[in-house]
């Protein structure tokens, strides 16, 4: 075999190996993003022009999120927010639309206190999706009702549904201490 043929074979082997390495890295990245973002991964894929663009968007969310100074709430802060939540639920009986507004504000307050930026609903969704992908869909559903709460077609049952959806994110944002279980009584 001549040295030219050997050089060509080596170049081809190196290019194939590099291609396999890039494909494996891409597959691992895709799997990691899909696992981390869950349904939000699928939603972003549907809204994007391509898989590459969707994955770039999700990676950008992670990069932005890494710059935040997110903190856990103290036990006292959690108690205070749970008391505010209980008060909001009591108000629901007499003023469901006001209670939905209060739930929306309460979730935004918790986000701000934990260190999440709150400068716009779409950005809030993106920021929350990094650590709260399982409940960001609940927030989306609740907020949709909240912004339409003055619409006469929104029923009390719709508003109740919104409060239940807000509660999913509320509990997720409060978090649980190690060993603490979330129970239905809260």
pLDDT for residue 176: 53
Tokens representing 34 are 């899909």
pLDDT (tens digit per residue) in 93-150: 999 999 999 999 999 999 999 999 988 899 999 999 999 988 999 999 999 998 887 6
CA 133 distance to own-chain centroid: 3
136 closest CA partner among 19, 44, 14: 44
Domain boundaries, the chain: 3-66, 75-174
pLDDT for residue 127: 92
Q: Among 63-67, 138-142, 154-158, 172-176, where is mean pLDDT lowest?
A: 172-176
Range 156-181 average pLDDT = 82
Range 169-175 average pLDDT = 93
Q: What does the radius of gyration of the chain's CA atoms come to, in whole angstroms?
A: 23
Range 67-73 average pLDDT = 93
Residue 35 to residue 8: CA distance in whole angstroms: 40
DSSP count for the chain of H helices, then E strands:
8, 0
pLDDT for residue 166: 96
Residue 92 to residue 99: CA distance in whole angstroms: 5
Range 173-184 average pLDDT = 53
């Amino acid at each position: 075999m001549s040295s030219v043929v050997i050089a060509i074979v080596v170049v081809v082997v190196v290019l194939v190996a590099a291609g396999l390495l890039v494909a494996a890295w891409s597959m691992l990245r895709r799997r990691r993003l899909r696992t981390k973002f869950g349904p939000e991964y699928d939603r972003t894929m549907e809204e994007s022009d391509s898989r590459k663009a969707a994955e770039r968007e999700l990676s950008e969310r992670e990069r932005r999120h890494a710059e935040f100074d997110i903190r856990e709430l103290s036990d006292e802060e959690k108690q205070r927010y749970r008391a505010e939540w209980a008060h909001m639920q009591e108000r629901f009986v007499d003023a469901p639309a006001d209670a939905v507004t209060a739930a929306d504000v309460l979730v935004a307050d918790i986000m701000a206190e934990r260190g999440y930026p709150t400068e716009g609903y779409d950005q809030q969704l993106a920021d929350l999706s990094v650590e709260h992908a399982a409940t960001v869909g609940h927030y989306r559903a609740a907020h949709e009702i909240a912004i339409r709460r003055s619409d006469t077609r929104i029923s009390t049952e719709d508003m109740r549904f919104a409060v239940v959806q807000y509660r999913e994110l509320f509990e997720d944002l409060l978090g649980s201490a190690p060993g603490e279980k979330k129970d239905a009584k809260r």
